[in-house]
């Protein structure tokens, strides 16, 4: 009987100890709303909706390596044809895919600041983009996340070298 009790206590202690181990990766899937702040064809891509995926590498520091994949489609269009001085069309940004990597700083349990950068794909162009964000976590085990981000895509317009800028609001749920 002592052996059974001892083995049950050992098993309970072992299982509770392994339950405390933090996963090496955390991933979130999100739905997002995007509002264009500045762009040469802003009337043709004023707002959009999309989805995203974000993954963190959980280490023992407050800085966690992060990768982020987001896609946004513009749904609003003022149907105005915009052209350069030579008569060529200025292409509107109908959609955007971003593949960013960087770091997320977790100063306290339920708040994080992140800065990611990388390629952004708009109208067949590969451009450099940056995305600073502020994340808020909710629920037990940080199951839900709200994210407010600013996105700047450099030299979106080839002729004038003007940037594209937007603000994004997202709600995400933890996958693992």
Residue 38 CA to residue 52 CA, distance in Å, equals 22
Q: Indicate the helix (H) or strand (E) that contains 15.
A: helix 2-19
Structural tokens at position 28: 């979130």
**b/e map 86-100, b = 16+ CB within 10 Å:** eeeebbbbbbbebbb
Contact 112/127 with Cβ under 8 angstroms?
Answer: no
Beta strands in the chain (DSSP E): 25-38, 47-57, 63-74, 95-108, 111-122, 125-138, 144-153, 164-174
pLDDT, residue 78, reads 75
Q: What is the mean pLDDT of residues 150-168?
A: 93
Segments making up each domain of the chain, as ranges: 23-174
Given a cut of 80, is residue 13 above it in pLDDT?
no
What is the value of pTM for the model shown?
0.83
Q: Which two tokens stand for residue 39?
A: 């762009």
End-to-end CA distance of the chain: 40
The confidence band for 15, taking pLDDT boundaries of 50, 70 and 90, is very low
pLDDT in tens, 90-147: 888 889 999 999 999 999 989 999 999 999 999 899 999 999 999 999 988 899 999 9
34-87: pLDDT as tens digits: 999 999 888 888 899 999 999 999 999 999 999 999 999 998 777 788 888 888
Residue 134's closest CA among 97, 168, 100? 168
* CATH code matching the domain that covers 23-174, chosen among 1.10.1060.10, 1.10.10.10, 2.40.160.20, 3.40.50.2000: 2.40.160.20
């Amino acid at each position: 009987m002592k052996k059974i009790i001892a083995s049950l206590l050992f098993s309970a202690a072992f299982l509770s100890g392994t339950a405390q181990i933090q996963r090496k990766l955390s991933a979130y899937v999100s739905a997002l709303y995007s509002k264009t702040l500045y762009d040469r064809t802003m009337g043709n891509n004023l707002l959009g909706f999309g989805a995203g995926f974000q993954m963190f590498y959980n280490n023992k520091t407050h800085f966690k390596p992060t990768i982020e994949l987001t896609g946004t489609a513009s749904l609003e269009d003022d149907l105005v044809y915009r052209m350069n001085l030579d008569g060529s069309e200025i292409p509107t940004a109908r959609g955007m895919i971003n593949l960013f990597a960087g770091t997320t700083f977790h100063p306290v349990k339920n708040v994080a600041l992140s800065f990611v950068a990388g390629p952004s794909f708009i109208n067949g162009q590969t451009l450099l983009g940056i995305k600073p964000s502020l994340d808020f976590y909710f629920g037990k085990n940080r199951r839900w996340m709200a994210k407010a981000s600013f996105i700047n895509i450099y030299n979106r317009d080839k002729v004038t070298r003007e940037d594209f800028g937007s603000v994004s609001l997202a709600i995400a749920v933890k996958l693992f």
